[in-house]
Amino acid sequence: GESVGLHLPTLSVQEGDNSIINCAYSNSASDYFIWYKQESGKGPQFIIDIRSNMDKRQGQRVTVLLNKTVKHLSLQIAATQPGDSAVYFCAEAYSGTYKYIFGTGTRLKVLA
Amino acid sequence: NAGVTQTPKFRVLKTGQSMTLLCAQDMNHEYMYWYRQDPGMGLRLIHYSVGEGTTAKGEVPDGYNVSRLKKQNFLLGLESAAPSQTSVYFCASRYRGINTEAFFGQGTRLTVV
């Protein structure tokens, strides 16, 4: 079984509803942000990214919103499906560094 | 296209034993990273490399060493394993530049008893 994420905050959503996963980032100088999805027993997978000169970016069924004023990032998933069940991580980075800083993650559970 | 491949996938070590985790990427990425992931915590950076022959320390480097002799490979070594190093280890790689996403391997689950 999966030991990662035993104590993560959990969001439970009914199948077909929209999900909103939030992330507070730490560095006001960060200018690049990414959302990753991690399914049980697998490595993180890229979902969507956004640069600091944007407030919103849309992908397939996903939207990322960036509020630099309060250092907040959110991931919206439309029409949530059972396959969306996973742990979601945000990551931040800023020019001049090679490293990403990852958040602790949120577990999304989709209820049938 | 295999992406990022980690070897082995699982390993059990006794305290004091040594081992090397191998990460191989076939995307010609310049940057490579080793992270560890513990329950309830995010990914913590152990070491990273911005090119062949270069390595640097991350947030939690103690007890680990790395080498990048070839661009496509990044090795993580544990010289004397401790129970505190029980974790899931992930390797990642990406292209040079800040606005590029990292690609992750499937992970290595290491247990030190």
Contact by Cβ (8 Å): B45, B33: yes
User: Which of A89, A83, A86 has the alpha carbon at shortest distance from A108?
Assistant: A86
Separation of alpha carbons A111 and A81, rounded Å? 9
Q: What is the Cα–Cα distance from A101 to B5, expressed in whole angstroms?
A: 22
Q: Find the closest chain A residue to B37 by CA distance.
A: A4
The answer to whether residue A1 scores a pLDDT higher than 60 is no
Element (H, E) at A40: none
Report chain B residues whose CB lies below 8 A from the CB of A5: 39-40
Asked if A4 lies within 8 A of B90 by C-beta distance, the reply is no
- Sign of the Cα torsion A6, B19, B12, B24 reads positive
Confidence band for A4, pLDDT divided at 50, 70 and 90: very low
Report the mean per-residue pLDDT for chain A.
91
Asked if B42 and A98 come within 8 Å (Cβ–Cβ), the reply is no
Amino acid (one-letter) located at A70:
V
- Report the C-alpha gap between B102 and A21 in whole angstroms: 21
Q: Which amino acid is at B90?
A: F
Across chain B, mean pLDDT equals: 94
Structure tokens at A61: 């069924």
Of B42, B56, B58, the CB nearest to A105: B42
A1 vs B: CB within 8 A: no
Question: One-letter amino acid identity for A43?
Answer: G
pLDDT tens per residue across span A36-91: 999 998 999 999 999 999 999 999 999 999 999 999 999 999 999 999 999 999 99
Q: Check B48 against A98: CB less than 8 A apart.
A: yes
**Smallest CA–CA separation between B57 and chain A, in Å?**
11
Q: Which two tokens stand for residue B77?
A: 């070594």
pLDDT 10s digits, B73-83: 999 999 999 99
